[in-house]
Structure 1
Amino acid sequence: MSGGSGSDDSVTANGRVYIPEVRNKETPAVGMKFDSLDLVYNFYNRYAFLAGFGIRLHSSFWGKNKKEILRKEFVCCKQGAYRNDETRERNRQRGISRCNCKAKIVVVKTHESKKYTISLFAEGHNHKMTPSGRMHLLRSHRRISDSTKVLTKQLGSVNIPINQKVSIFEVQSGGMDKIGFIKKDMYNLECSVNGKLRNHDVELVTEYFMAEHKKNEAFYFKIEGDGDNRFSRCFWADATSRRGTGFMEMLLYSIPHSTRIDTT
């Protein structure tokens, strides 16, 4: 069913156009108004989930002051096409992820209005809709909830690896298609959290050494970088160690080269 559309040239090679069957109240229509672009995205993404496709952000037109977007396009995830690169060798063939699909909505914001209005809705696709059992693989429909992030942190504190964490969530949710994300998303979350913690650890160590030196000037420490403003290693010796051994420098720990600090 359609809630109204603009021009639509999403035609397959055999002349077929795929129109999603979604209830009118869930379908975008020209003239609909929204208070923000986030609400537009959420509404269109909800429609896309019911229809069987994913979406992504596309072009934007900013106002003269560059402080707000006056026009925004949200398109089907299969919009556009990859350029053929015969110089690249592919280990395996993947399905076609871009096929110049023209399905999209366009919203505009006028100076007289504070709302975004749908000015164009092209609902036809030149590809079949994604089966419900594979919708969880589409990027716009994947999300790690706040509660899952908390549980992930707790499981990480007892050194449970990522693949086992995903298995736990899969059993808890009743299937991989119901947990709301894929294993790659969990790896990305872990990398993001671990990167922040590494930087935070360096700051804590530096603050601790500075405090110890302030309490006792005999406390010695030295932080070394690798020449590219990255933490390499750290030595320290308290007053007792310096009296007992002359000057014993102790290697505290090393941090991966991806961690950066200011060693000046």
Structure 2
Amino acid sequence: MDCNKLTEDGTPELGMEFNSEEDAYKFYNKYAFKMGFSVRKDYPNKDKDGVTAFRRYSCYKEGVKRKYEGDVMPKRTRAPTKIGCGAKMVIMLFRGTMKYRVHDLVLEHNHELHIAQCAHMMPSQRKVSKAQGFQAEISEDVGLSLKQSHELMEKEAGGMENVGYTREDLKRYLRTRRERSLKYGEAETMCGKRPSTILTDQDHAMAAALSVVMPETFHGLCTFHIRRNFMKYLGNHYKKNSDLPYMFGACMYGFEEMEQFNRVWEAMVKKHNLENNEWLSELYRIRDKWARCMMKERWTAGMRSTQLSESLNTAIKNHLKLDHDLVQFFRHFNRVVDEKRHNELIAEYEMRQKLPMVRLRQTPMLVHASETYSPTVFVAFKNEYGESTVMVILRQQDAAMIVEFAIMSYDGGSEKIVVFNRNDLSVRCSCKKYENEGILCGHALKVFDTVGIKIIPPEYIKRRWTKRARAGDCFDRRRREVVADPKIMISTRYRELAPAMIKVATRAAMSEDTSKKAKSNLCKIKKI
């Protein structure tokens, strides 16, 4: 039907036609708002194709309350609202025109109707719109209470009667959103990917769970927790001048070769009479999860402890309350993540604002690294390059396309073997620094310099360490592009439009002519 006609002739009549059942409901609900009653949608009668063929819209007070049939009466019962009102509008689909026509109509009510000042409280007139819902979610995300969020909406809408919903409606809306988030898994952990390495404490239950849930992920132990347990289980062996903690620390961090590790470990156990210590024996059994010599081929990005996770936990605790449910927890978790991402943006700005310090300006390798890596990683790479300048090649063995170099630091240290492939220009060092941290070691850089490679080969540049690590599209596990949160933009537009619309309504209400023109234009806007 024509929107202007509905505005002028607001009373339903038999034979009226509508393009859809939604149009019919909106018309009848608008009539109900004017008259002072609420509308209830009855179940639709659909055909075999799923198209609604028949539907009834009734007064909210239609029917009667069923009598309680239980043995024990409940302590609290709801006050009855149904009193058998027969007011209704029934629509039927006509196949010839594929439009809905008013087939049955009853306008009389058997109860007192609501006054105009209470019309906005009727159930069929209350609805949390998408824009309002997004704004309520954002308010909850930043820690505003339900009451504060609703009061904010009231101020923006110009009064409680203009909001369009009650505080209880908002409460139900947010609860429903949380339930759906839990049911459908709105937050997909790590987009379905599995981490290469996970560091935890020595919790046996967590170790068992990881072996089942992520069998392909390497499970390492946090060195911080190991040292703390060291003081707990071996504190009675610790003396003022004891070398026990130093020997233990050397086994954990110092040795790159297994022979050195075993030799010092056996000496430490024997010297301090720790052969029967159960905790130390169990720790040695799982040494592949914490000893440097055993973990050098595992990807850890240079991390050996869960200190970053512990600091994140501390930050999260500042935003949590005991009564938060799981979805609220993740909302506040996202607040902490947003703070971390803001810190990343600060680092991004500093990276583009300040040029890296390259002392050897004529060195192509360092210049290339300064243009490629982030500032922090560039410093680490520059240190490795500096180490390469004091490396000496002890011997070189050629075997067709494979060249093996024995390299050692000029001032001493252990000998490392670097294998270079002339065919694909690949390099492999026995120190395994690249495999563990993703940065070429000084030994490999020495070989590259020797064979005339003056820039970092692309296959040895990990994207995560580059300046463009944050660039590009992001996809979830279903290969859908992850874009910026649309709630922010919708809420922003809502806050911009709401005050302007209130001002228009205020001025239009001053006279009958301007009011009609405003209604006519609003009907046109709704069709956009």
Partner residue in 2 for 1:6: none
Matches within 5 A, 1:106-185: 106-185=90-169
Aligned partner (choices 17, 23, 46) of residue 30 of structure 2: 46
Structure 2 CA distance, aligned partners of 1:223 and 1:56?
54
Q: State the Cα distance separating 1:169 from its structure 2 match.
A: 1.8
Partner residue in 2 for 1:243: 290
Q: State the Cα distance separating 1:249 from its structure 2 match.
A: 11
Question: Which AA in structure 1 matches 2:192?
Answer: E
Q: In the superposition, relative to structure 1, how do residues 23 and 170 fare at CA in structure 2: closer, same or farther (>3 Å)?
A: closer
Partner residue in 2 for 1:77: 60
CA displacement 1:66-104 (0-9 Å, x = unmatched): 42121111110110010232743353763x410100000
Q: In the superposition, relative to structure 1, how do residues 244 and 42 fare at CA in structure 2: closer, same or farther (>3 Å)?
A: farther
Structure 2 CA distance, aligned partners of 1:190 and 1:93?
23
Judge conservation of contact 2:86–2:109 (CA < 8 Å) in 1: yes
Q: In the superposition, relative to structure 1, how do residues 196 and 99 fare at CA in structure 2: closer, same or farther (>3 Å)?
A: closer
Structure 1 CA distance, aligned partners of 2:132 and 2:52?
33
Question: Which AA in structure 2 matches 1:207?
Answer: G
Judge conservation of contact 2:221–2:305 (CA < 8 Å) in 1: no
CA displacement 1:10-50 (0-9 Å, x = unmatched): xxxxxxxxxxxx98700110011011110010000000001
Structure 2 CA distance, aligned partners of 1:67 and 1:166?
39
Structure 2 CA distance, aligned partners of 1:162 and 1:186?
8
Judge conservation of contact 2:40–2:124 (CA < 8 Å) in 1: yes
Partner residue in 2 for 1:89: 74
Q: In the superposition, relative to structure 1, how do residues 23 and 40 fare at CA in structure 2: closer, same or farther (>3 Å)?
A: closer
Partner residue in 2 for 1:58: 42
Matches within 5 A, 1:187-202: 187-198=171-182, 199-201=185-187
Structure 1 CA distance, aligned partners of 2:199 and 2:83?
65
Partner residue in 2 for 1:30: 14
SS in 2 for 1:127: coil
Q: In the superposition, relative to structure 1, how do residues 68 and 115 fare at CA in structure 2: closer, same or farther (>3 Å)?
A: same
Partner residue in 2 for 1:186: 170
Structure 1 CA distance, aligned partners of 2:103 and 2:52?
15
Judge conservation of contact 2:207–2:219 (CA < 8 Å) in 1: no
Larger radius of gyration: 2
Structure 1 CA distance, aligned partners of 2:111 and 2:178?
40
Q: State the Cα distance separating 1:105 from its structure 2 match.
A: 0.6
SS in 2 for 1:40: helix
Structure 1 CA distance, aligned partners of 2:208 and 2:13?
61
SS in 1 for 2:89: strand
Structure 1 CA distance, aligned partners of 2:74 and 2:115?
30
Q: In the superposition, relative to structure 1, how do residues 110 and 206 fare at CA in structure 2: closer, same or farther (>3 Å)?
A: closer
Judge conservation of contact 1:71–1:107 (CA < 8 Å) in 2: yes
Q: State the Cα distance separating 1:155 from its structure 2 match.
A: 1.5
SS in 2 for 1:70: strand
- Which blocks of at least 5 consecutive residues in structure 1 are unaligned? 1-21, 225-235, 258-264
Q: Which stretch has the larger CA shift, 147-156 or 102-111?
A: 147-156
Q: State the Cα distance separating 1:137 from its structure 2 match.
A: 2.3
Q: State the Cα distance separating 1:178 from its structure 2 match.
A: 2.5
Instruction: List 4+ stretches of structure 1 deviating above 4 A.
Output: 218-224, 236-240, 248-253
Structure 2 CA distance, aligned partners of 1:62 and 1:193?
29
Q: In the superposition, relative to structure 1, how do residues 39 and 249 fare at CA in structure 2: closer, same or farther (>3 Å)?
A: farther
Question: Which AA in structure 2 matches 1:200?
Answer: E
Judge conservation of contact 2:59–2:88 (CA < 8 Å) in 1: yes
SS in 2 for 1:163: helix
Structure 2 CA distance, aligned partners of 1:200 and 1:160?
22
Structure 2 CA distance, aligned partners of 1:194 and 1:244?
44
SS in 2 for 1:105: strand
Structure 1 CA distance, aligned partners of 2:16 and 2:208?
59
Q: Which stretch has the larger CA shift, 141-150 or 167-176?
A: 167-176
Partner residue in 2 for 1:17: none
Q: In the superposition, relative to structure 1, how do residues 244 and 130 fare at CA in structure 2: closer, same or farther (>3 Å)?
A: farther
Question: Which AA in structure 2 matches 1:89?
Answer: P
Partner residue in 2 for 1:230: none
Matches within 5 A, 1:217-228: none
Q: Which stretch has the larger CA shift, 108-117 or 40-49?
A: 108-117
Judge conservation of contact 1:237–1:249 (CA < 8 Å) in 2: no
Q: Which stretch has the larger CA shift, 192-201 or 137-146?
A: 192-201
Structure 2 CA distance, aligned partners of 1:249 and 1:81?
66
Q: In the superposition, relative to structure 1, how do residues 195 and 60 fare at CA in structure 2: closer, same or farther (>3 Å)?
A: closer
Judge conservation of contact 2:14–2:102 (CA < 8 Å) in 1: yes
Give 1 or 2: higher helix fraction: 2
Q: In the superposition, relative to structure 1, how do residues 249 and 77 fare at CA in structure 2: closer, same or farther (>3 Å)?
A: farther
What fraction of aligned residue pairs are identical, expressed as a percent?
20
